[in-house]
Structure 1
Amino acid sequence: MLGDGSTGLNIDIGTPERLIFLEAPIDLMSYYELNKNRLENVRLVSMDGLKDTTISRHLYELLDEIEGLTDINLDDAKKLLPILANTNFFDLDANRELITLAVDNDKAGLGFIEKLKSKNIKFDIDLPPLENNQKKMDWNDFLKQKKALDLSQEPNIGSGTFNRTSSSLDSQAVKEVPQPVEQVQPTFPTNAQLHFSITNPQKSIRKPSYYKAKRKELTKIN
């Protein structure tokens, strides 16, 4: 659902028993796409940035749903994290997995993690991996990178895979399209002449339907 600045976009999968926080709605959707086969009984939350007040509010709401907490108003709910950090709440094994931070793997995201750790707030961490000397990565970029890799490989009939990258195409033998076979024509001299003999027209067979050529017309044939 959508709400005020501390609510953020959030999606329930099953009956939530824990919370996963991401920086932006697009990261939330990307994270779900990447992990949908293993996510269960969890609430995905977009913080629309890096907001510990959003974590506080959703932790309050989750605890209220699970344990029936009703004696904390909304203003206090936004400050729940530091309140709980001053108790033994996060020392209990059951509470250490309530929160997962799946923020961007960059300077800001890592700084936010250290900030919460310094306040004695316990949580799990799930960051998009860095590859090839990358300095930052978010879940949407990681999803696009994974899809590009998947598209570069297709199953091949037989064994192995067929790589569609340009380097592999260069190494493949290019198949020529069969050309139509030309029909062989009989040899015929181009300078041949046709001769007609009209010296004895009486030998010709004539039928009433035939046109009777005149002599001056016949002389034009050759």
Structure 2
Amino acid sequence: MFKWKDREGEVVGADRQGTQQMTNGGFMIDVGKNPKKIAVFELPIDLLSYRSMQKEKVKDTRMVSMGGVKIESVNHAVKDLRSQGHKIESIVPAVDNDKAGEQFHQKLKDHHGENRVVDHRPKNVKDWNDVRKQQATSPKKQQEPQMGM
């Protein structure tokens, strides 16, 4: 179970297999005190896998698990950060490398502007958890996730 917390730290929901999910919430981690980027992942395991591989490189970023590909989750994260006085410089879809991920990336560009959306889908595998598993089994065949956060 992955708890969703609001900015005051209160639990407002959770990701749990077999339950209906909220359309505008999700598991999230703020990296740094002044998030300037929003990185969105389809599932909490992808977010955590990415975070574990890139702990030192991700800076000033709100990492959000959407529980699928949900533009509402991105819009909610943008609205929430803006309400706290943060200026969002970029939105980074780190979603699955599949048709749904491609469609979501295009939808984000259409909605938030092509210059603000930085594609960061994994290459040659489906998702960031697969990258993590690949690194665990074959360290020399690592895919270096360069998000520049």
Is the pair's TM-score, using the shorter chain for normalization, greater than 0.5? yes
Tell me what 1:8 maps to. Answer: 26
Q: Does 1:39 align with 2:31?
A: no
Q: CA deviation at 1:120?
A: 5.5
Structure-1 separation of matches of 2:119 and 2:60: 18
Give the aligned length. 120
Corresponding position of 2:41: 22
Pick closer, same or farther for the CA change 1:143–1:38 going to 2, 3 Å.
same
Quote the sequence identity (%).
Answer: 34
Q: Give the distance between the partners of 2:106 and 2:84, measured in 1 at CA.
A: 29
- CA-to-aligned-CA distance 1:80-133 (integer Å, 9 cap, x gap): xxxxxxxxxxxxxx75x3311110111110111122333453311111111xxx
Letter in 1 for 2:28: N
Structure 1: which 4+ aligned runs deviate by more than 2 Å? 115-122
Unaligned runs of 5+ in 1: 68-93, 131-135, 153-222
Whose Rg is larger? Answer: 1
Inter-CA distance 117–17: structure 2 relative to 1 (3 Å threshold)? closer
RMSD: 2.1
Which is strand-richer, 1 or 2? 2
How many angstroms does 1:151 deviate by? Answer: 8.3
1:83 alignment counterpart: none
Which residue of the other structure, out of 124, 127, 130, is the alignment partner of 1:141? Answer: 130
Q: In the alignment, what sits opposite 1:89?
A: none
Distance 1:141 1:66 in 2: 35
**Paired residue type of 1:101:** P
Shift of 1:29: 0.2
Between the aligned partners of 2:50 and 2:82, the Cα distance in structure 1 is 24
> Aligned partners of 1:118, 1:18: CA distance in 2, in Å?
18
Distance change >3 Å, CA 12–CA 98, structure 1 → 2: same
**Matches for 1:97-108 after TM superposition, within 5 Å:** 97-108=89-100
Q: Which moved more, 1:120-129 or 1:34-43?
A: 120-129
